[in-house]
Chains A and B, each alone.
Chain A
Amino acid sequence: MAIQTPNGFSLDNTGQRIVVDPVTRIEGHLRIEVNIDESNIIRNAVSTGTMWRGLEVILKGRDPRDAWAFTQRICGVCTGTHALTSVRAVEDALGIQIPENANIIRNIMQLTLQVHDHLVHFYHLHALDWVDVVSALSADPRATSELAQSISSWPKSSPGYFRDLQTRLKKFVESGQLGLFRNGYWGHAAYKLPAEANLMAVAHYLEALDFQKEIKKIHTVFGGKNPHPNWLVGGVPCPINVSDTGAVGAINIERLNLVKNIIDQSRRFVEQVYLPDLMAIASFYKDWNYGGGLSSTNVLSYGDIPDYANDYSAGNLLLPRGAIINGNLNEVHEVDLRDSEEIQEFVSHSWYRYADEDIGLHPWDGVTEPNFDPGKNFKGTKTRIDSLDESAKYSWIKSPRWKGHAMEVGPLARYIIGYASNIPEFKEPTEKLLTDLGLPVNALFSTLGRTAARGLECAWAAEKLQYFYARLIDNIRAGDSATANIERWEPATWPKDVKGVGFTEAPRGALGHWVHIKDTRIENYQAVVPTTWNAGPRDAEGNIGAYEAALMNTPVDNAEQPLEILRTIHSFDPCLACSTHVMSPEGEELVNVTVR
């Protein structure tokens, strides 16, 4: 009983059902169900967000200058990006212009997040889908050293270094307490790396774990802490004082040197460890070309990293903006977040209620009333899900659509749009990567393409950190030390009833916040986040979402150990707390949800 979806997939849910819940090495709570046919190929995929927090309900009636702190707590992994999106939305609504230094420091914060998030994702959330830790025990340390030295000049590469690491690992395994590595799919046939590559990758897993904490110190300098640094409507909270009394309590030359040192170290680590590892690992998995999903047809990016302050037009954004539909790379469409016909959210398969569930709502008109109704073919009880009914409602995530299309967002979407827009700094590294691996362009549209784009973007972001650091120094040298505009800080100066929108490119993709401010308080607040785009369920028309599409037609070697599912889902870097937190303008209704 195959069903043809409007977005080009043939679904068949008659074969064996495989459930992965919890999906781990992600942020938040996600469940995946698939059906495989008699050849073990995935013929139906169901993505379910299994948490809801109601954050925007909580924002209603609050001071819009506080909204960044609340929305930042949407996610502690992509920490900062929601806060930045929020202050932009509020500034857009209130007509606030920020100083040049504030724009630069915000860009440094956002790029720091990109570098950190991508690095941690690759090593700590994704690598174990490709790297067999147990196999590393049988590696020859000398051969590992030769391998490492052949691909990078990174100094920690001696035979002794790898021998010590292997000894430690052996001791760890022999202790019988495998901790984090317990019950992994070790020895699975889908692992293809030689033992030496596995040992090298495990060494870098640990090095990256120790190094990542350094990167985020940039947030700590400008924002006082990480996770969850501090932000400010109208600029940034940290003043600059490089010469006068009291400079020790501000951004001064010692702080700037610390930031520079971290930026340089980060760039080195990305170029000498992350990228060579990515290439080495990818070269063993070139034949595993599954997981493309929507990436070859429909991708979306809002753009980000304004080169100069207060200009959010596409031409001033260093990360590209645009939409590609139906696989036509020759046409990059402009995207307007204010147009009520472009971005809309649907709930026909989500655990929410609309008056008319055939239509979608623009975020400024968004409604969210929870309606946990798992449908008639659902298997289980009210508090035990055995198997979901994807013909009914099946997720706490809504289905956002751009002009009716299901879209993929994220680093791969950005690189495809940058490539299609002929922007050299996206096109050239992409072509080089493909040439080095001996792959055609359409190899990009895959799980590995997603993983590779993230690595390229990490290197791009590290380079841009150096660029903005130099810009900051230039500005200070020229005598500009302003970091905040307080002309409209006091609510008495605000218009009575205004709407605003803010956007960023979060590590995981396009992120938008829509705010309505009335009588100096938040009247309505809505966020549509990357994982909503990617992990969302089917819509009223039956179009499947990006996760679901990416899982389709992938062979699963062992139904008991569905490593391939993890690989493809992890390649999106899921962030579920982000995706499931919507509100209604009548948010107070939610207070009445019955306590059972």
Chain B
Amino acid sequence: MSSPETFYDVFRQQGISRRSFNKFCALTAASLGLSPAFAPKIAHAMETRRRTPVIWLNGLECTCCSESFIRSGHPLVSDVVLSMLSLDYSHVLMAAAGHQAEAALEETRRDHAGEYILAVEGNPPLNEDGMFCIVGGRPFIDQLQEMAAGAKAIVAWGSCASNGCVQAARPNPTQATPIHKVIKGKPIIKVPGCPPIAEVMTGVLTYMLTFDRLPPLDRLGRPTMFYGQRIHDKCYRRPHFDAGQFAEAWDDENSRKGYCLYKMGCRGPTTYNACSTVRWNDGVSFPIQSGHGCIGCSEENFWDNGPFYDRLADVHTPLGVESNADKMGLGALGVIGAGIAAHAAASALQRARASATNPKSGSGE
């Protein structure tokens, strides 16, 4: 058997020169805060390391995470599965079925204990002894816990695995449960969203493979580089918010001018995600750009914070303290909504004052 394909091989296949590869390793060392002396070590690791096995399990879900994943434009998902990692189990894509599929799972657990990444799409239901989700004749929760035990790290894909998502919305008839509540003692990286953005998904995986470490996480377990800011913070319609320019009804003059959708129920001000920066499907658009407010799909309990078209100030459903960890410690979304309403009014007011005192800084309308 010839030597396995390594990261270096992948780079070379992509037409990257040895010189560029060395430069990449030096930059990687620098970005990791290591001295330049580490660059050759990184180069050596990338030249020799086997592709990391990834086991992708599906519980109660809708497969939107797998569908999103295959939309990745950079890297292309064909490169991801052929060259960057070894996707040893995936309900959606794998050739094998039945006991051959189960065997693939078992082989990875045995031969790569402590080495594989477990990626989880969906969540386990706890009611009916777990039999609301059966895989290979057994409750999904059993498969999940067995595979979690040998994993190096666990990725919780999407809002199902991270927060429970739609099947956990009131009254949660199956008691669908996010995975961090049933897996203990393993690092879990939450990548929420319904689904998460494709390039965020491949970005999280390739971060781990490239830098050989977990991405830095916020207090809720989400990678800070993608979930550190609100959609509102980087929204290209933010100037309209600040200027008090809002769409008032569907397809009205203001919608056609691309004004802020806050009054149409947009959850951008309370949603931590990369939609307004990375955008969707190779950067084509994101919900607000296409005229619909954010529904907050990466936030815990977003299904129960509706109706989606009520503006935030009207929302009264209280949120748990945990979900508010990054939201200035406010106890209830209603308070945040009121705060945002005040923020909108204050921004408009400041703008008006500024233009009154300094005609040159007028609103530009």
In angstroms, Cα B177 to Cα A595, docked, is 12
Q: Is the CB of A226 within 8 A of B281?
A: yes
Given contacts A171-B5, A240-B256, A595-B175, contact A213 B281 (CB under 8 A): yes
B93-143 interface with A by 8 A CB criterion: 93-98, 100-104, 125-140, 142
Which chain A positions have C-beta within 8 A of B95? 24-25, 128, 133, 180-185
Evaluate contact between A75 and B63: CB separation under 8 angstroms: yes
The verdict on B295 contacting chain A, using a C-beta distance below 8 Å, is yes
**Binary CB contact string for chain A from 172 to 204 against chain B (1 if under 8 A, 0 otherwise):** 101111111111110000000000000000000
> Contacts of A436 on B, CB cut-off 8 Å?
none
Residues in A neighbouring B70, C-beta threshold 8 A? 120, 124, 209, 212-213
Whole-angstrom distance from the CB of B362 to the nearest CB of chain A? 16
Q: Looking at the complex, which of A64-72, A266-274, A407-415, A510-518 is the stretch in contact with chain B?
A: A64-72
Name which residue of chain B comes closest to A76, CB basis: B64
Q: Which residues from chain A contact B256 at a C-beta distance below 8 Å? A: 239-241, 244, 246-247, 250, 481
Contact A55 to B167, CB < 8 A, known contacts A171-B5, A184-B96, A593-B173:
yes
Given contacts A51-B133, A171-B5, A172-B83, 11 further A-B contacts (CB under 8 A): A20-B97, A23-B98, A55-B166, A73-B64, A125-B92, A184-B96, A220-B290, A227-B71, A486-B251, A590-B173, A593-B174
- Residue B58 is within 8 A (CB to CB) of chain A in the complex: yes
Of A228-236, A528-536, A545-553, which stretch is located at the interface? A228-236
**Are the CB atoms of A224 and B292 closer together than 8 Å?**
yes
B128 touches A370 (CB 8 A): yes
A384 within 8 A of B: yes
Closest chain A residue to B95, Cβ basis: A184
Contact of A222 among B96, B286, B290 (CB under 8 A): B290
A21 close to B287 (CB less than 8 A): no
A478 at the interface (CB under 8 A from B): no
Are B309 and A224 touching (Cβ within 8 A)?
no
User: Is A246 touching B167 in the complex (CB atoms < 8 A)?
Assistant: no
Tell whether A469 is near chain B: CB-to-CB under 8 Å. Answer: no
B24 within 8 A of A: no
B127 x A179 contact (CB < 8 A) = no
Do B251 and A239 touch (CB < 8 A)? Answer: yes
A residues near B251, Cβ cutoff 8 Å: 235, 239, 482-484, 486
Determine whether B77 belongs to the interface, using a CB cutoff of 8 Å to chain A: yes
A498 interfacial contact with B, CB 8 Å: no
Given the contacts A51-B133, A245-B257, A76 and B62 also touching, CB distance less than 8 Å: yes
Cβ contact within 8 Å between B137 and A384? yes
B186 in contact (CB, < 8 A)? no
**Are B135 and A21 within 8 A (Cβ)?**
yes
Give chain A interface residues in 537-596, CB to chain B under 8 Å.
561-562, 566, 577, 587-588, 590-591, 593-596
A382 touches B131 (CB 8 A): yes
Would A210 and B174 be within 8 Å (CB), given that A22-B101, A183-B100, A384-B137 are in contact?
no
Which of B173, B280, B284, B303 contacts A591, CB < 8 Å? B173
Contact of B94 among A24, A77, A229 (CB under 8 A): A24
- A73 contact set on B, CB distance < 8 A: 62, 64, 165-166, 194
Does chain A have a CB within 8 A of B224?
no
Q: With A174-B1, A241-B256 as given contacts, are A216 and B309 in contact (CB-CB < 8 Å)?
A: no
- Is A174 touching B67 in the complex (CB atoms < 8 A)? no
Contact of B51 among A177, A240, A482 (CB under 8 A): A177
- Find the B residue at minimum CB distance from A171: B5
> From residue B181, how far is it (CB to closest CB) to chain A in Å?
13
Q: Which of A128, A179, A593 contacts B87 (CB 8 A)?
A: A179
Contact of A225 with B170 in the complex, beta carbons under 8 Å: no
Is A28 interfacial (CB-CB < 8 Å)?
yes
**B→A interface (CB under 8 Å):** 1-2, 4-5, 9, 13, 50-51, 53, 58, 60-68, 70-73, 76-78, 81-83, 85-88, 90-98, 100-104, 125-140, 142, 165-167, 169-176, 194-195, 197-198, 237, 249-251, 255-259, 275, 280-282, 284-292, 295, 297, 303, 306-309
Q: In the complex, what residues of A have CB within 8 A of residue B195's CB? A: 76, 227-228
CA of A543 to CA of B255 in the docked complex: distance in angstroms? 53
The residues of A with any CB-CB pair to B shorter than 8 Å are: 19-29, 31, 50-55, 57-58, 62-63, 65-66, 69-70, 73-77, 79, 120, 124-125, 128, 133, 168, 171-172, 174-185, 206, 209-210, 212-213, 216-217, 219-230, 232, 234-235, 237-241, 244-250, 258, 370, 372, 380, 382-386, 396, 481-484, 486, 489, 561-562, 566, 577, 587-588, 590-591, 593-596
A177-B68 contact in complex given A21-B137, A53-B167, C-beta closer than 8 Å: no
Please state if B250 and A58 are interface contacts (CB–CB under 8 Å): no
Contact yes or no, A58 B73, CB < 8 A: no
Q: A225-B281, A237-B250 known; A596 and B127 CB under 8 Å?
A: yes
Assembled-state Cα–Cα distance A11/B255 (Å): 61
What chain A residues lie within 8 Å of B93 (beta carbons)?
25, 124, 180
Q: Is the CB of A227 within 8 A of B64?
A: yes
Which residues of B lie under 8 Å from residue A168 when comparing CB positions? 13, 82
- Nearest-CB residue, chain B, relative to A133: B95
- Among B66, B129, B140, chain A packs the most CB atoms within 10 A around the CB of B129
Residue of A176, A250, A593 touching B4 (CB-CB under 8 A) = A176
Give, as a whole number of angstroms, the nearest-CB distance from B292 to chain A. 4
Say how far A73's CB is from chain B's closest CB, in angstroms: 4
Complex CA distance for A459 and B206, rounded to whole angstroms: 36
Q: In the bound complex, what is the Cα–Cα distance between A53 and B90 (angstroms)?
A: 21
Judge whether B98 and A220 touch: CB under 8 Å.
no
Contact indicator B257/A244 (Cβ below 8 Å)? yes
Q: Which 7 A-B pairs give the minimum distances between C-beta atoms?
A: A249-B258, A76-B64, A246-B257, A184-B95, A224-B287, A224-B290, A54-B173
Residues of B within 8 Å of A396, CB to CB, are: 132
B142 CB contacts on chain A under 8 angstroms? 383
Decide: A54 near B167, CB < 8 A? Known: A21-B135, A70-B303: yes
A591–B71 Cα distance when bound, in Å, is 37
> Given the interface contacts A124-B93, A241-B257, does A486 sit within 8 Å of B250 by beta carbon?
yes
How many angstroms from the CA of A54 to the CA of B135 in the assembled complex?
A: 18
**Nearest chain A CB to B16's CB is how many angstroms away?**
16
A24 touches B92 (CB 8 A): yes
21 A-B pairs (CB sep. < 8 Å): A23-B98, A57-B171, A63-B306, A63-B309, A75-B63, A76-B67, A174-B2, A175-B5, A179-B82, A213-B198, A216-B281, A217-B282, A223-B287, A226-B71, A234-B250, A237-B290, A246-B257, A247-B256, A249-B291, A595-B127, A595-B175
Query: In this complex, what residue of A is CB-closest to B250?
Result: A484
Whether the Cβ atoms of B281 and A220 lie closer than 8 Å is yes
Question: Bound state CA distance, A75 and B61, in angstroms?
Answer: 8
- Give CA–CA (A125, B93) in the complex, Å: 7
A31 near B134 with CB under 8 A, answer yes
A233 to B91, CA, bound (A): 34
Say yes or no: A24 contacts B97, CB within 8 Å: yes
Chain A, Cβ-Cβ closest to B66: A76
From A171, A210, A249, A383, give the contact of B257 (CB < 8 A).
A249
Contact between chains at A183 and B194 (CB < 8 Å): no
CB distance A24 to B101 under 8 Å?
yes
Are B98 and A51 in touch, CB under 8 angstroms? no
Which chain B residue has the least Cβ–Cβ distance from A169?
B82
**Given A62-B307, A69-B308, A577-B63, are A25 and B94 also a contact pair (CB < 8 Å)?**
yes
| CA distance in complex: A74, B92 (Å) | 16
Known contacts: A76-B62, A179-B88, A239-B255. The answer to whether A383 contacts B130 by CB under 8 A is yes
